[in-house]
Structure 1
Amino acid sequence: MGVKPLGEGTAALFVALHHEILLFAAVGLAIGGLDDFVVDLLFFLRTTWRDIAIYARFPRMTTPGLPAPEHPGKIAIFVPAWQESDVIAPMLRHALQSWGDGHYRIFVGTYPNDPATIDAVGQIAANDERLMLCINDRPGPTTKADCLNLLWRAMLAEETAGTFRYKAVVLHDSEDVVHADEIRLFDFMVDRFDLVQLPVLPLPGRGGWWRRAIADHYGDEFAESHGKLLTVREAVGASVPSAGVACAFERNMLEALSPDSAQGPFDPGSLTEDYEAGLRIRDMGGRSAFVRMRDAKGELVATREYFPDTIRAAVRQKARWTIGISLAGWDRLGWQGGPTEWWMRLRDRRAALAALVLFAAYLTLLLSVILWLWGQIMPVPHRPLSPAMAALLWLNLFLMLWRMAMRLLFVSRAYGLRAGLGAVPRTFIANYVAILAARRAVFLYLRSLSGHPLHWDKTQHHFPDLQADS
């Protein structure tokens, strides 16, 4: 009996491996691509119907035309801060200047082992009663949810002392560039909804092209997420998850999320307490809304901020999102709601698996190159594609081109045509970050299951020079 040469046997093994990985990647990409395709169709159907049935007869609402709220109330703004001395002062000054003497108060949460942030906030709070500095009893970092609960307790104490109740709680981060009309908009919308989410628009990146590309891929993703997906979620009756910034919770509904309101409504063991709050409000029968409204200048009422511009920082941030939404969400929140809610929760939780599919797709390309080079040296066994596999690959080609067109469309709408054209090659950066983030997330999540608690794995933030940018 003859024995195959070592090189031929190894080549056959590579061919078989290439085929199996190709099959896994092709099926995974097709499922994800068709899922996104259905979301796109629903968005365009909804947009077309509203243009014909509503906006053909009535002008679009803008903030200057907002009616007075039915039940005006005071708004509490929660800003958790851990090692934010570089950005917190200009953020607060800008917010106070933008919102003026409106009916609100900003609560900033800090930690006793972060004196720089305490000093930065304290210097402003000492001369402005619209701002309250709160210091945690425990050293940081704990979790963002734990810091938010500190602010909740400070709000309750003020309510008790002043014999009044706040109308809503708004979440912001210490690097946010807030919009001047947002308090008025929240005051009006919270009369009708228990959760109101405004768009988040990442600011264009700075520095060299690599750092700009990393930062700008966030803008690409948010342009689709907050320009399309949240609109579809609301339209199909699914939950609208909170983004953690530019979102308002009706005060009593937020209190109802916790069995012990004296401690706080946010779960300190969660890394994505904002996202979870949105889904829990839906489970309790609350109403949520995603609001895209323009101001007198035609600009979108949204929160703008810089996002990470290094691979390491982006991976850390997205790993935290993946842990809280894709991994922990399965056991923490379950699968409540109807079919559309299950669909959207499945979309939320597919990040880790999607990263594996992307890795398989890139590995397939690498193996294809290796086999081609190998074939230039010696014969390599050929395994023709089946008709079903060929059809699947053609389908994936169509879905990929469609996905590129959608990314170009929504990014161009948010940032201009030049940014939209750049979004297509930036997809490779987004995929690279997603794969590394999923790897880190799985490792940290498994480590947490063995008894190592998760902490606030924050990234370094920047605040724009608004005078230079204006």
Structure 2
Amino acid sequence: MVASVGLIGPVLSFLEAARLELLLFAGFWFVIGALDELAIDLCWLWLKLTGRLRRRKLAAAAPRELSAPIALFVPAWREARVIAPMLRHALAAWPHRDLRIYAGCYINDPDTRAAMEDAGGGDPRLSIVVNETPGPTTKGDCLNRCFRAMAQDEAREGFRFRAVLLHDAEDLVHPEALSLIDAELAHADFVQIPVRPETNGDSHWVAGHYCDEFTDAHAREMVVRARLGVGIPAAGVGCAFDREAMDRIARRRGGSGPFDPTALTEDYELGMLIGRAGPDGKGGSFARVRAADGSLIATRAYFPHTLDTAIRQKARWVQGIAFDGWEQLGWSRSPLEFWMRLRDRRGPLVALVLAAAYALIALTLVLRLAEWAGLHAPARLPPLVYWVMIFTTACFVWRAVVRFVLVGREYGWNEGLAAVLRIPVANVIAIISARRALGRYIGTLLGRAKVWDKTEHDRHPADKIGGRGR
């Protein structure tokens, strides 16, 4: 018993030393991260104060015809539950004659194919593309199959599409999005419109954090990136690529198609390749515009509502963007482009720093309890550490205020407050998904094949609006 008591002092001293090391490690990276976010915030505020981010709003008008044909690709694997309302709503919301939808499915997925056929209702603008390779392969492979089907139609009918638009089976398109994208393509090779996740009453915390993160990114960071002229990452939905630009990428890949069939985030990669202006192209555009009724012209969808499914999805994003993106896209000599790629690939480091911060909180609680019990006298921290803590705390409060304002403006002030309370939930998901992404990436280095680790969808936003509303 005496020996046990005698061990308490050395153990607490070790914990105190560990706490200081974690403080220095987490504090350093928190300062770097805070300065990174502040730089984006300052750019955003400067653009708003100088009037360069005027709120764009479309006048009410009847749907006009497209300036040139556009192809919409909708890849699907086991999406029989949601593909029918998606296609039915898209065909009704976008009556444009020059739109053609290529819905990709697999030979071993008859339910999804049947749902597609039912949704089409004989509309000649819908083409169902069956991948003869049993699924799931990868999303990039399915998209390349749609691309080849489109090219065959072009050769047979003697015309060329102007652009390719991407959407997923769970998406609800905005009625005015196609006309907006068509107009933006006049001066851009790549166009991205915002993503607006649907709130889910069954999962206020997990599903809700997608609302917070997409709103923050698509109301602030993406508009800054577009103004800076750097690469804009494609979200995989509500994004359109110029046909000629896609041909250039396809030739670089050896003619198999513009999408990388081995990538987990083939949309992000294509957006980064096309979306930065260069000698061969016009660059990208992020179009954040309001309709005449005040609604944001955006893609709506339900996102994962359980912890496991959210972790699986985000692990795929981290692996594809942070690990595979580093390997396949490399870096850039442009300082601004290099900065943005660092931001895109910071997920694993952020997760490590957050894990260190939560360990630091736990250690601090243990040491405070020991101090309260009279077993330990805490060491005085260096003054620099206190200043770091003050600076990072102030920056956290500022970020929370910005998120509250952005989310509250879009979803209501109750959701804005919830967005602040959901920050720890988002942090936990980020930590676990980064660990999982690292394990999966190591597995691919050891020869494990990449497959379509898709998110399961059990509802569609069109369900609650009869399939035809906004």
In the alignment, which of 310, 313, 330 is matched to residue 306 of structure 2? 310
Give the aligned partner of residue 258 of structure 2.
265
Deviation for aligned residue 1:14: 0.9
Give the aligned partner of residue 402 of structure 1.
398
CA distance in 1: counterparts of 2:64 and 2:299, whole angstroms: 22
SS at match of 2:244: helix
In the alignment, which of 421, 437, 455 is matched to residue 451 of structure 2? 455
Give the aligned partner of residue 202 of structure 1.
197
Question: 2:217 matched to 1:225?
Answer: yes
What's the % identity of the aligned pairs? 42
Question: 2:329 matched to 1:328?
Answer: no
- Distance change (3 Å), C-alpha of 1:247 and 1:449: same
CA distance in 2: counterparts of 1:214 and 1:324, whole angstroms: 22
Cα offsets for 1:24-83 (capped at 9, x unmatched): 1111111111110110111010011126xx95xxx94515479989x8211100000011
2:63–2:179: 8 Å Cα contact kept in structure 1? no
CA distance in 1: counterparts of 2:305 and 2:76, whole angstroms: 20
Deviation for aligned residue 1:262: 4.5
Deviation for aligned residue 1:261: 6.9
Cα offsets for 1:380-410 (capped at 9, x unmatched): 2522110111110100110110111111011
Give the aligned partner of residue 435 of structure 2.
439
Between 1:169-178 and 1:180-189, the stretch displaced more is 180-189
1:218–1:307: 8 Å Cα contact kept in structure 2? yes
Letter in 2 for 1:428: P
Give the aligned partner of residue 25 of structure 2.
24
In the alignment, which of 270, 277, 288 is matched to residue 270 of structure 2? 277
CA distance in 2: counterparts of 1:125 and 1:262, whole angstroms: 31
User: How many residues get paired?
Assistant: 459
CA distance in 2: counterparts of 1:403 and 1:202, whole angstroms: 21
Deviation for aligned residue 1:305: 0.5
CA distance in 2: counterparts of 1:254 and 1:159, whole angstroms: 15
Within 5 Å, give how 1:412-423 maps onto structure 2. 412-423=408-419
CA distance in 2: counterparts of 1:61 and 1:121, whole angstroms: 34
- Distance change (3 Å), C-alpha of 1:101 and 1:283: closer
Question: 2:135 matched to 1:140?
Answer: yes
Cα offsets for 1:137-190 (capped at 9, x unmatched): 211111111110010001001001101000110000001000111221122211
SS at match of 2:289: coil
- Distance change (3 Å), C-alpha of 1:401 and 1:296: same
Within 5 Å, give how 1:109-120 maps onto structure 2. 109-120=104-115
1:171–1:247: 8 Å Cα contact kept in structure 2? yes
Give the aligned partner of residue 244 of structure 1.
236
2:277–2:284: 8 Å Cα contact kept in structure 1? no
CA distance in 2: counterparts of 1:163 and 1:326, whole angstroms: 41
In the alignment, which of 106, 122, 125 is matched to residue 127 of structure 1? 122
2:57–2:291: 8 Å Cα contact kept in structure 1? no
Within 5 Å, give how 1:33-432 maps onto structure 2. 33-50=34-51, 60-64=56-60, 72-125=67-120, 127-207=122-202, 211-259=203-251, 262-282=255-275, 285=278, 286=281, 287-432=283-428
CA distance in 2: counterparts of 1:229 and 1:60, whole angstroms: 17
Give the aligned partner of residue 464 of structure 2.
466
SS at match of 1:241: coil
Deviation for aligned residue 1:206: 2.5
CA distance in 1: counterparts of 2:57 and 2:173, whole angstroms: 20
CA distance in 1: counterparts of 2:168 and 2:69, whole angstroms: 20
Letter in 2 for 1:174: A
CA distance in 2: counterparts of 1:65 and 1:401, whole angstroms: 42
1:205–1:213: 8 Å Cα contact kept in structure 2? no
RMSD (CA atoms): 2.1
2:70–2:162: 8 Å Cα contact kept in structure 1? yes
CA distance in 2: counterparts of 1:294 and 1:283, whole angstroms: 25
CA distance in 1: counterparts of 2:466 and 2:115, whole angstroms: 22
SS at match of 2:164: strand
CA distance in 1: counterparts of 2:444 and 2:178, whole angstroms: 38
- Distance change (3 Å), C-alpha of 1:178 and 1:261: farther
1:63–1:293: 8 Å Cα contact kept in structure 2? no
TM-score by length of 2: 0.93
Letter in 2 for 1:463: H
Deviation for aligned residue 1:283: 5.5
TM-score by length of 1: 0.93
Letter in 1 for 2:189: D
- Distance change (3 Å), C-alpha of 1:357 and 1:264: same
Unpaired runs of 5+ in structure 1? Answer: none
